[in-house]
Amino acid sequence: MNAPVLSVTSLVKRFGHLTAVDDVSFELMPGASLGIVGESGSGKTTTARILAGLEQPTSGTVTLDGEIVGGQSRRARLRQARLLQMIFQDPYGSFDPRRTVAESIAEPLRLHAPGPAAAHRARVGELLDQVGLSARAGESLPRELSGGQRQRAAIARALGIAPRVLVLDEAVAALDVSIQAQILTLLDELRRDTGISYVFVSHDLAVVRYITDTAVVMRHGRIVERGETEQILRSPRHPYTRLLLDSIPSPGWDLDRVARDRRALDAL
């Protein structure tokens, strides 16, 4: 139980001259939730894409359930997908627009767990129920669902093959506040019930605070601060983390303080 389900060691990704991810390492224990926080260009999404096998790292390793993953062979990719699934900001792009949501949810089941169609149908029904979608929503096309419902469907599809890790890339960023809260509480319940682990990639510190136990803060491809999420938010050590925190609007928001933080960071 004390072996990490996911560990990332010295990950580097270069695109030409640009180093998008620069020596990133972290570990994720079973049932834990890790936040990757950063702004655009911080390398957080590239890191997530490497975890899901959508990018190949320039160097460094990703270990899932004790085995190094990577490689482009069909077998290697299937194994990686079996253990780790990814949720994107806009699930619309990852659903086939001509198939019903239930068909899309059944697809990974057919791929990873071949079996009778009736068993798959039953499992799809279970999954829809688990994420709070009606059977009718399952018979709908993706465009007939709202953003929140589509995100639920994406979660159902990812959970179908019981992966160990779910990577969520800005998964609630495009949702209205009231819907965002529904998805966040759903994710919380799922983690409690199934013991799945999350890598939660977000620019939103408030959301990260709610959904994660530990976090890393990334800037220009490097991790500048890491620790327990609550600790990082209460007493940030790196000037960049402090800038991020002070930039969040609140009653009595002090914009001069933000400017001071920015100067402190530039002086580094």
Residues that bind another protein (CB under 8 A): 39-40, 146, 148, 176-182, 184-185, 203, 205-207, 209-210, 230, 233, 243-253, 255, 258-259, 262
Local structure of residue 258 (DSSP, 8 states): H
Cα dihedral: 45, 144, 152, 163 (round 10)? -70
- 152 membership: H or E segment, kind and range: helix 147-159
Q: What is the dihedral sign for C-alpha 65, 66, 70, 74?
A: negative
- Please, what is the minimum distance in Å from the beta carbon of residue 250 to another protein? 6
Minimum distance, C-beta of residue 236 to another protein, in the bound complex (Å): 11
Distance CA 72, CA 20 (A): 21
State in angstroms the smallest separation of the CB of 206 from another protein.
4
Tell me how far, at minimum, the Cβ of 4 lies from another protein, in Å.
Answer: 25
Residue number with CB closer to another protein (154 or 205): 205
The torsion of the CA quartet 235, 240, 242, 246, rounded to 10 degrees, works out to: -150
Q: Based on CB atoms, which residue is closest to another protein, 47 or 85? A: 47
| Nearest CB to another protein, comparing residues 1 and 177 | 177
Using the minimum distance from each CB to another protein, give the nearer residue, 76 or 174.
Answer: 174
Which residues, in sequence order, are CB contacts of 141 under 8 Å at separation 6+? 97, 98, 99, 100, 101
